[in-house]
Structure 1
Amino acid sequence: MHNNKSLSRELSLISLGLIKDKGDFKLNKFQIEEIFESSLDALIDHCRDELDNCESELEYASQKILDSELHEGVNPSFSNVREDLKKSLTKIEAVMNTISASLEFPKLIISSGQTDIREDINERIRFIINNLKVIDSEIDQSMEGWRLKRLPRIDRDILRLAYVDINFLNTPIAVACDEAVNLANKYSDMQGRKFINGVLRRLQTVKLK
């Protein structure tokens, strides 16, 4: 189950994706509130898409099981049948995990109406857009020859949120890194997750010195 801070980070990440990251403008509280509402809509749409995908995957897994049953009489060894069943059951397990996670969304959406969550999101976004050049410069120094601007936008924003947690909000380093990794696992790809992990380790080392 998400706690309020985790929900704040996730909605902050989606909100940031709706803002240009040029660092040459300011947003007032009303504009940030509008962006937050759009991010909440995006999160709800994501939930619906996940459930639609679950339905398709379940239909696929059911068909594979049916195909295995039809094969059973033709293939006395049962080896192919067993393999098909294993794959189908694995897929069903993944689908059920997704459904289980999606069922939490109504609670999260209700929580998102709480003043403390909205203020936390507002604060995180303001910290980033008002200090973007400094944040990006310091993250760059932990990237060993790479530049932050070369990363996909979602990966840049995950690292920026982690930086804000550590340097502006006094979040324990281990917690900030764990939360960033959770966001990367959900929103980034394999290469992005590995890269974010590496940068977070270096940021953590610098902060602890």
Structure 2
Amino acid sequence: MKAQTIARELALLALPQLSKAQKKLAQSQPRELQLTLEEMMLKAISTLREETQEALEAATAELQRSNDRLLNSQTRASDVEGARVMTAEAIELVQTAINRLGQALEMPETINNFNRPDVRSYALELLVKATEETAQVDLLLSKSIVDWQLGRLPKIDRDILRLAVTEIVYLGLEERIAINEAIELAKRYSDDQGRKLINGVLRRVTEQLKSGV
């Protein structure tokens, strides 16, 4: 997994804590700011560990339920159709469990790469810029949201958008890559509606930037 991808996820997980520490961050010296942001990233790592454990526990429960469905299809189904339905439910539960296990297996890579200098450096740079330029980023996003308000979006969708715009405007990330990376985060942390919204808003942001509005 690329350093920026790992750093971006860490920044996303640390970003919700920024609002709680906004005043402290504004008054911090550069070294203090870095230490505070690193502390937030450590909390983000802790969150990832908890999510990994929860994903594994959920996958275990789903596999057990799948096993129960298969047993019931053999012993309790009154006809072929009933057995078919129970088997289909069992297969669906197994697929869900596999998806959860896939997510859980990705998380340790993010956790283990936290101490990579390139990961820490980019995550800190992204968090610092997202903090410093929140007002300008939010202004740009507000102009790009149709029939809705930025403040009414789910927090996770808002944070994904803020990070993507920060990378495009202030860190020089190519627009196409920023949008794709934001969508990948949305697939993992948001839902289908959030993913579509993020895609649409960021495309309108890029149109604004190109037109100079």
- Give the deviation of 1:43 after TM superposition: 0.9
Could you say which residue in structure 2 is the equivalent of 1:151?
A: 153
- Give the deviation of 1:145 after TM superposition: 4.1
The one-letter code sitting in structure 2 at the alignment partner of 1:50 is A
The one-letter code sitting in structure 2 at the alignment partner of 1:5 is Q
Determine which of 138, 141, 144 is the counterpart of 1:142: 144
Alignment pair present for 1:61 and 2:66: yes
> Residue by residue, what CA displacement relative to the aligned partner does 1:114-153 show, whole Å, maximum 9, x if unpaired?
0111111110010011111111011111113432112122
- Give the deviation of 1:192 after TM superposition: 2.4
Distance in 2 separating the partners of 1:153 and 1:106: 25
Could you say which residue in structure 1 is the equivalent of 2:44?
A: 39
More relative contact order in 1 or in 2 (CA 8 Å, sep 6+)?
Answer: 1
Alignment pair present for 1:9 and 2:14: no
The one-letter code sitting in structure 1 at the alignment partner of 2:194 is G
Higher helix share: 2
C-alpha contact 1:6 1:179 (8 A) present in aligned 2: yes
Determine which of 110, 121, 131 is the counterpart of 1:119: 121
Q: Give 5+ residue unaligned stretches, structure 1.
A: none
- Give the deviation of 1:200 after TM superposition: 1.5
Equivalences for 1:13-32 in 2 at 5 Å? 13-20=12-19, 25-26=25-26, 28-32=33-37
Distance in 2 separating the partners of 1:154 and 1:22: 18
The one-letter code sitting in structure 2 at the alignment partner of 1:45 is E
Alignment pair present for 1:48 and 2:49: no
Could you say which residue in structure 1 is the equivalent of 2:89?
A: 87
Cα RMSD of the aligned pairs, angstroms, is 1.9
How has the CA–CA distance of structure 1 residues 23 and 145 changed in structure 2, closer, same or farther, with 3 Å as cutoff? farther
- Give the deviation of 1:10 after TM superposition: 0.8
Q: Give 5+ residue unaligned stretches, structure 2.
A: none
Distance in 1 separating the partners of 2:107 and 2:155: 24
C-alpha contact 1:155 1:196 (8 A) present in aligned 2: yes
- Give the deviation of 1:178 after TM superposition: 0.9
Distance in 2 separating the partners of 1:184 and 1:197: 9
How has the CA–CA distance of structure 1 residues 155 and 104 changed in structure 2, closer, same or farther, with 3 Å as cutoff? closer
Distance in 1 separating the partners of 2:112 and 2:172: 27
Question: Where does structure 1 differ by over 6 angstroms across 4 or more consecutive aligned residues?
Answer: none
Could you say which residue in structure 2 is the equivalent of 1:170?
A: 172
Give the share of equivalent positions with the same residue, in percent.
Answer: 29
C-alpha contact 1:11 1:121 (8 A) present in aligned 2: yes
The alignment's TM-score, normalised by the length of structure 1, stands at 0.90
The one-letter code sitting in structure 2 at the alignment partner of 1:33 is E
The count of corresponding residues between Structure 1 and Structure 2 is: 205
Distance in 2 separating the partners of 1:42 and 1:61: 28
Distance in 1 separating the partners of 2:209 and 2:176: 11
C-alpha contact 2:73 2:86 (8 A) present in aligned 1: yes
The alignment's TM-score, normalised by the length of structure 2, stands at 0.89
